[in-house]
Structure 1
């Protein structure tokens, strides 16, 4: 029996003819009828912990037999990181409340017994920074992703031309782009054959941006967004359970939320976290829903302007797709989670049929943020050149791959491998709202995304370094 682990959840891969000994119901099954995906902690960590692939619809990740990929446009979230600076004080406050009760009391028993030998994992001055230690480190993740894409898409590079990389101007995002580039080109070749283009995150960039902002605000969505995180009864249950175990402990649901937040981040720098089992699956499901709701209203389909924000990137990619490889075959872009969710919203590939609410968990919703923008998450658009087949005549098709799972476009999946004919895809994109018009971009600012056609081939910024946190070489 082969045993593999994803995060902390281990799955047993049984040979097809092996019965599950503990189950009389399945004792004669030739194929396992037990599905463990719902027990994977990484699907409930609020996209604060390590990268995890999207749950696939079963469509083959490889291009269809009669097709070849001739252009790739990717946008990737930065890799695994330490908590944000705004989260650090709240996490430390909750942790101090627990430690002050247990330290000196010789009360290292129960759910928190591990704290006797546990230490906080964030080095000084490292809030916001990409992690560099442990099996799920952000810098390692970015490097390995680059290597993976070199293996997958290396045929699109001639080995001589300089390939631009586009990153927003934020230190951890820049480092992700650099490490991805080193993985794709090789450490030495990256220095001479990649050209890092750093795109300002200033709102004055207007439409020429990887991080566009809308000057108009959805007031209803903003009210909910401003009120997050909100209260769920399952977090009260967790607080009561811990308080009952330790005399003098007085944590509340907010403390529980922050301790769960800390737990997810711990895996970004360590191979395991004892904190995971402090909380039940019901509590982790509630934690995940808080983050689903956060993205839904703050930068997703619950905000009326996010389709327009996302349409900026989608429209620009359409121009590249229609021009084809003559404009370039590899376009690798790097930004933040809240810059990718509007793009997903514009494409409509995860928009739920029901409105998410703060008091009811939407089980089975398409808007599962862990499947959309985990740390290191990516949306990859492939341009397929296909020959005649029984399914479709020869032509050019578009395929969307989200976190390494093919996600067919709703209403346009009649091409090979459930791809969309480029002409049909063009009609879909042309129906999207205008970012410039909807978000009232001033005429004094750029009115279109142009950096893919107006970029530097200089290598001078390939190894640029900003402030480094304590302990990072």
Structure 2
């Protein structure tokens, strides 16, 4: 499929007079997907590796009655803060006056930095702004391919529907992902894009509850995350400096090179910088990211269940009202941490065993942040009916992930009534507004956009973040 896509791009590029990369560089495109899972959620989209092999289609003799999607924005350039640091490392490399040796030797070959314009920072990668016109991993194409696959599986839910709404935060890249998705659905649908403000003043009426949570302390468990050895970063810097005397890279530069590797793939389609790392270093970097996310945005921080409860409670309410609501498809676009908070409340990837910093827990780690929220991540909530009985289950990045304690239904789904009992248990003692001290930044304490968008048009100003 990827080779066909590249062939089409080659033809289009030649027809439009666009400069085509050398054949040896074209051959690198699509060859690095095995390392995506190690790149801290900054690599292009990939299906969840822990797939149990359960088909995501409706089980035999069943039909979908509602589907909800919570999706991350597509592939992008680095943030402003990360981009600034990457530029500093690039300047250090570009000012090196000798020929590079070892794994950095590719920089001798007329290399151009993958961020061609500082204005690209924070932005979605597109066919227009990519460093390589043959890049198959743009956020633009990811969203469009996702939309066509969505239609292939759920178009029956849109029968006799021409008008429906899609929801997005007002982050520009999130908005752009939603826009590309809508475009790919085709002109037969008149979609209204509801742009919901993610500023703290939105309070609970947001897709990005974390921004309305002033009580959230991202440093609360630094004592755990900082205990994980960063010797591997020092070893990378030492190795590169030894190969290239006078380069003077630091362990902070080493850490940034992982970002370079991941984001360049989303801009160029491949990254020679990825060849700097050994398999051991990729594993250690990946686990550090798991550890950090677990105690900042995931199950290791007690507050996160409260944060994710804001969205989880709304999705459960939509399920309960599926028979009375005109809209049967609910599409929402947001950020990676918001999805991670949401999944934490549901508990799909929380086995109750806290991560520790002493070593990489190869057999006992069920929490892989990058598997859950790669670029373009998508969490589907399926509701389907079989012989007048309804069932609910989750599909995360194309993989059915059964609820451990409730999977007796068809396709390892959860019977509807049992699911609501499960949800009640998960929501017990959770209070987003109270735990986060939301009232200190907003007087809005309810999530309402799924129900009042018909009378209250959401059109928040786009933010460059």
Mapped contact 1:195–1:459 kept (Cα < 8 A): no
Q: Which residue of 1 aligns with 2:446?
A: 448
Deviation per CA, 1:290-323, whole angstroms, max 9, x where unpaired? 2212321221111111111111111111111111
SS at match of 1:151: helix
Superposed CA offset, 1:99-130 (max 9, x none)? 322x4x2x233211111221111122111000
Instruction: State whether residues 86 and 256 of structure 2, in contact with CA within 8 Å, keep that contact through their aligned partners in structure 1.
Output: yes
Q: Take 1:456 and 1:97, find their aligned partners in 2: how far apart are those partners? A: 53
Residue 257 of structure 2 corresponds to residue 259 of structure 1: yes
**Cross-structure match for 1:115:** 107
Distance verdict in 2 for CA 1:229–1:119, change over 3 Å:
farther
Aligned position for 2:21: none
Deviation at 1:209, TM superposition (A): 1.1
Determine if the alignment matches structure 1 residue 207 to structure 2 residue 201. Answer: no
What residue in structure 2 maps to residue 321 of structure 1? 319
Equivalent residue number for residue 166 of structure 2 = 165
Contact kept, 8 Å, 1:199 with 1:209, in 2: the verdict is yes
Aligned 8 A contact 1:218 1:304 in 2: no
**Aligned match of 1:402:** 396
Larger helix fraction of residues? 2
Instruction: Measure, in 2, the Cα distance between the counterparts of 1:3 and 1:228.
Output: 42
Cα distance, 1:218 vs structure 2: 5.3
Q: Structure 1 residues 158, 458: closer, same or farther in 2, change over 3 A? A: farther
Which blocks of at least 5 consecutive residues in structure 1 are unaligned? 11-39, 388-393
CA gap of 1:199–1:459, structure 2 versus 1, over 3 A, is closer
Check 1:110–1:183 CA distance in 2 against 1; reply closer, same or farther (3 A cut): same
One of 126, 136, 147 as aligned partner of 2:120: 126
Q: Which residue of 2 aligns with 1:135?
A: 136
**Quick one: distance in 1 between partners of 2:296 and 2:227?**
12
Cα separation, partners in 2 of 1:304 and 1:465, compared to 1, 3 Å: closer
Q: In the alignment, what sits opposite 2:180?
A: 179
Render the CA deviation track for 1:208-239: whole Å, top value 9, x for unaligned.
Answer: 110113233458735459x7797522222211
Partners of 2:62 and 2:385 within 8 A in 1: yes
Q: How far apart, in 1, do the equivalents of 2:228 and 2:274 lie?
A: 21
Q: Is the 8 A contact 1:135 1:269 kept in 2?
A: no
The Cα shift of 1:285 comes to 1.0
SS in 2 for 1:268: helix
Deviation at 1:380, TM superposition (A): 0.5
Cα distance in 2 between the residues matched to 1:274 and 1:219:
33
Report the counterpart of residue 150 of structure 1 in structure 2.
Answer: 151
TM-score, normalization by structure 1: 0.83
251-260 vs 352-361, which moves further? 352-361
Structure 1 stretch 407-416 or stretch 345-354: which is displaced more?
A: 345-354
Counterpart residue number, 1:430: 424
Aligned mates of 1:331, 1:229 — CA distance in 2: 42
- Give the structure 1 partner of residue 380 of structure 2: 380
Q: Secondary structure at the match of 2:315?
A: helix
Unpaired runs of at least 5, structure 2: 5-27, 128-134
Which whole-Å CA distance do the structure 1 matches of 2:247 and 2:402 have between them?
50
The whole-number CA distance in structure 2 between the counterparts of 1:229 and 1:75 is: 33
**For the Cα contact (< 8 Å) 1:196–1:459, is it kept in 2?**
no
Q: In 2 relative to 1, CA 359–97 (structure 1 residues): closer, same or farther, beyond 3 Å? A: farther
Cα drift, residue 6 of structure 1: 9.2
3-state SS of 1:452 partner: helix
* Number of corresponding residues: 423
> CA 1:7 to 1:308, structure 2 compared with 1: closer, same or farther past 3 Å?
farther
Distance 2:29 2:314 in 1: 36
Match of 1:439 in 2: 436
SS at match of 1:326: coil
Does the C-alpha gap of structure 1 residues 457 and 164 become closer, same or farther in structure 2, counting only changes over 3 Å?
A: farther
Q: What TM-score does the superposition give when structure 2 sets the normalisation length?
A: 0.85
Q: CA deviation at 1:174?
A: 0.3
Contact 1:44 1:284 in 2 (8 A): yes
> Does structure 2 conserve the Cα–Cα contact (< 8 Å) formed by 1:138 and 1:176?
yes
Give the direction of change, closer, same or farther, for the CA distance of 1:467–1:437 in structure 2 (3 Å limit): closer
1:356 — aligned with what?
A: 355
